[in-house]
Chain A
Amino acid sequence: MITVKNFSKSYSEGQFAVKNITLEVKDGEVFGFLGPNGAGKSTTIKSIVGLLHPTSGTIQVNGYDICRESVKAKYEIGYVPDEATLMEKLKGVEYLNFIADMYKVDNQLRRERITKLTEAFKLTTALSKTIDTYSHGMRQKLSLVAALLHNPGVWILDEPIVGLDPESAYRLKKMMKAHSKSGKTVFFSTHVMEIVEKICDRVAIISKGELLFLGTVEELKKNRGNSTIEEVFLEVTKSEAQQDDFSYLDSD
């Protein structure tokens, strides 16, 4: 479970990246976190995992305050960043071993999970190569395997689908669903509305640092006259994209 209470984050005085957000992600839920670029999604996610510190408000993960009990809270989390910054000079398997050591995963469990997860994402043969030879998608997959290695209760995934091939993306969506079915939590951000519609139990929409909507996909669509989720998103975020005229692109 993730509890965010009155959370605000400011990088420079008077300018807020996120303003007074309150939300709760319950156990057994797949929660989609949506918003345009620069809306404050990554700031919120980075604050939930302890990379940034809230300017005000509190964040708890499975009952642990991320600032005051950060180590305990981090054990509960499996985090995939928006940009997989992995140690390039390590081999894939060395990196996974390092992560497993950090989360105190015993030998048997790590063998089992590394084998199964790397097979699922077709990464096994790449494990003996250094990460600097990996493609963007492979890095994303390695980051996913590393995040899920210690069997965390709360998955926090920042745009996890980006860079994945359709097969891996399908598998990940299935995993997310299965994880929530087993009573655990999945919190993820995405720009792909189809995924939101398919797998999310609830969604939050954030724009310019403010929470604009919190509820189920059905509630969202109902409130806005049953349009497609993409149209609803554009409407909620007050986007002018629908009125854009692009005829100039092909004019002589």
Chain B
Amino acid sequence: MISLIWTLINAHYGLSKKKIQYIVNKKGLWEPFLLIAVFAFLFIFVGPLFVNLQGLMIDQYKQLGLEGLFLNNAILVTGMFGFFLGIFLVINEFFYTKNLNLLLSLPIKPKEILAAKMILILIDLFWISLLFLLPSLVIFGIKTSADLLYWVTIFFILAFSQTFPLLLQIIVLLPISRYIHFGKHKDFFVYFMSILLVVVVIGFQFYVTNDLAGSEFSQEKMIQMLSNPQGMISQMGKGYPPAFLGVKALLSSGFQQFYWLCSFVFMHLVGIYIALLIGEKTYYRTYLKLQDHYHDKDDSAKALSIEKTMVSEGSYRSLMRREWRYFLRVPSFAFNGFGNVIVFPLLIVVFFFAKNNPEFQQFISFFQTAKDYVLPVGILLGSTVGSMNMLASTIFSREGKMLDEIKVLPVRSDMIFKVKLSHVMLMSTIGPLSVSLIFLLLFNSGLPSVLLIFLISELLVLFLNLLQIALDATFPNLTWDNPQKAMKQNINGLYTIILVFGFTGLTGYLGYLLREKLSGLQMTMILLIIGLIGVILSYRLAKKAVQKFLMKDYCRN
């Protein structure tokens, strides 16, 4: 069992490959150092701000006697993140990875394979806990001078923090997948879950903004809530039991603490057992059905009218068509690509429809008082939304093993560059376009201003996209076994976040500092100049990087 888990982890993270690369061949040693540098940068510059914010929150909760709510929220938010991200991990690990063909042929019990796969997903999800939960728990412990038992309890809370979300996913996904025969429509299933996720997030946002802004949330209700904090935690605990038990275990003392901790651990162990039971009963049959689909020898597929489909196109159009088909037919690519540029504008629209929302009214009045700066703010917003597409920074990584197919074609690298850039720009344009529309419809900005917002945002998006293309052409991640790894688990995505937010943050901050000296129009002109110079320089850089990349050997022998 240990060997199985270790082998799966090794294959999943490519540990042996990395060991050979870094230790034996001593190649690409800068990669881990760069990663450490990025985290150190975040730790040094964002860390203190985060600690201060958390400290302030704890103080506020403490004043209201609701410190338990702080811990409750930390556990709940971590669980929610785990649940939504985990859905994709579960689908990938249980239905996409090809290692099951091998594992099923080995003399291992189904339960052992399921347990090993669950552990692998838990390790992936554990990173979320390290990022969201651990700092909150540590800061809370330091702030409240917690005793030794608190720190021991943290260990258990952290260790099981992603278990409940995973159990929910397994309990929901595996039986459903059996009855709706998603083996035959696995891509559709991923699309469906992805859209459902977006709808849930938007619905949640809509509910929260409406509920808090609505008249139902009265002062009376607030007083009632504050007068009985324990009752409130219990109420929330009904929705998410691990948070309830976790908070109880963390805040109690003596025997009670031990009792709640045991309850917390026991609940998770029982949950794991049930998940294994359900998995064993439903998953294997589903998986075998999935295999039946692939070995379907039924030739009843409609006889193809070859004549109709065989129409010649130019190289550019044909390559473009390939790009679109590949993008749209791989759910991970399509959802991540569209999601990144669409979700943010959608949230603003939801804000708008949440009538009487004070935050939105505040937002509108802020724009009305600072009308002079609508242009630069809109441009930066548009460029950020457009360039956070994750498509440019994975432009060649997404090719994976298919790269040979491209390299062997009789087309120049310039053509491939042109096609890929056009595709990325078409997708990115959704960002500036939707932001421009929001400014036109919601903030009543004039048409000339909106046009300027669109055009200059688009220019900056082009600049930032070109830099991302150069990045991916220089450091592509071609050795992935499932498409999710080419997008979400691609380190270039992290660099993109730093690049895009770094650019927006820096220019925005400089604009804020110089707000007394520069008018909105002058700032707009500066952004235009940055865009123009940036595009000229980065176009050459990206083109050369692509040429070099397509000449480079990526032999996988």
Contact = CB atoms under 8 A, between A and B. Distances in A.
Interface of A: 11-12, 42-43, 46, 49-53, 70-72, 74-75, 79, 81, 85-87, 89-90, 93-94, 97-98, 100-107, 110-111, 114-115, 124-125, 127-130, 132-133, 135
A139 B5 CA distance: 32
B312 A106 contact: yes
B306 A114 contact: yes
Interface string B313-328: 1110111011001100
Nearest to B331: A89
Contacts of A12: 25
Contacts of A93: 304, 306, 309-310
A89 B326 contact: yes
Interface of B: 25, 293-296, 299, 301-304, 306-307, 309-315, 317-319, 321-322, 325-326, 329-330, 401-402, 404-405, 407-412, 551, 553, 555, 557
A90 B412 CA distance: 23
A89 B411 contact: no
Nearest to A143: B405
B404 A81 contact: yes
Given A81-B404, A133-B294, A71 B412 contact: yes
B524 to A, nearest CB: 42
B405 A43 contact: no
B294 A86 contact: no
A89 B313 contact: no
Contact of A129 (B295, B301, B407): B301
Contacts of B555: 11, 43, 46, 52
A170 B231 CA distance: 79
Nearest to B400: A85
25 contacts: A11-B555, A43-B555, A51-B407, A52-B553, A53-B551, A53-B553, A71-B411, A85-B401, A85-B404, A87-B405, A89-B325, A93-B310, A94-B325, A100-B312, A101-B318, A102-B315, A102-B318, A102-B319, A104-B312, A124-B306, A125-B303, A128-B302, A129-B301, A130-B329, A133-B293
Contact of A110 (B310, B326, B409): B310
Contacts of B330: 89
B117 to A, nearest CB: 22
A105 B301 contact: no
A125 B301 contact: yes
Nearest to A94: B325
A214 to B, nearest CB: 23
A50 B408 contact: yes
B410 A115 contact: no
A81 B401 CA distance: 12
A51 B404 contact: yes
B408 A51 contact: yes
Given A53-B551, A90-B325, A128-B302, 17 more contacts: A42-B557, A71-B411, A74-B409, A75-B410, A90-B326, A94-B309, A98-B318, A101-B313, A102-B409, A111-B307, A115-B306, A124-B304, A125-B299, A128-B303, A128-B304, A129-B301, A132-B294
Contacts of A110: 310, 312
Closest 6 CB pairs of A and B: A101-B318, A89-B329, A74-B410, A128-B304, A85-B401, A125-B299
B470 to A, nearest CB: 21
Contacts of B322: 87, 90, 98
B228 to A, nearest CB: 56
A89 B330 CA distance: 7
Nearest to B314: A101
A16 B304 CA distance: 48
A199 B301 CA distance: 37
A53 B312 CA distance: 31
A86 B330 CA distance: 14
A101 B408 contact: no
A25 to B, nearest CB: 19
Nearest to B293: A133
B140 to A, nearest CB: 47
A71 B409 CA distance: 8
Contacts of B402: 85, 87
A105 to B, nearest CB: 7
Contacts of A133: 293-294, 296
Contacts of A49: 408
Most chain A beta carbons < 10 A, residue from B294, B296, B409, B412: B409
Contacts of B409: 74, 102
A189 B453 CA distance: 59
A124 B306 CA distance: 9
B326 A87 contact: yes
A250 to B, nearest CB: 21
A161 B32 CA distance: 43
Contacts of B407: 50-51
Contact of B312 (A50, A101, A115): A101
B410 A102 contact: yes
A52 B404 CA distance: 10
A103 B314 CA distance: 10
Contacts of B312: 100-101, 104-107, 110
Q: Most chain-A Cβ atoms within 10 A of its Cβ — which of B310, B404, B551? A: B310
Contacts of A132: 294
Tell me which of A52, A106, A115 has the highest count of chain B C-beta atoms within 10 A of its own C-beta. Answer: A52
A91 to B, nearest CB: 9
A79 B408 CA distance: 8
A75 B299 CA distance: 35
A11 B553 contact: yes
A97 B311 CA distance: 8
A97 B309 CA distance: 8
Contacts of A70: 410
Contacts of A115: 306
Contacts of A75: 410
Contact of B410 (A85, A103, A125, A129): A103
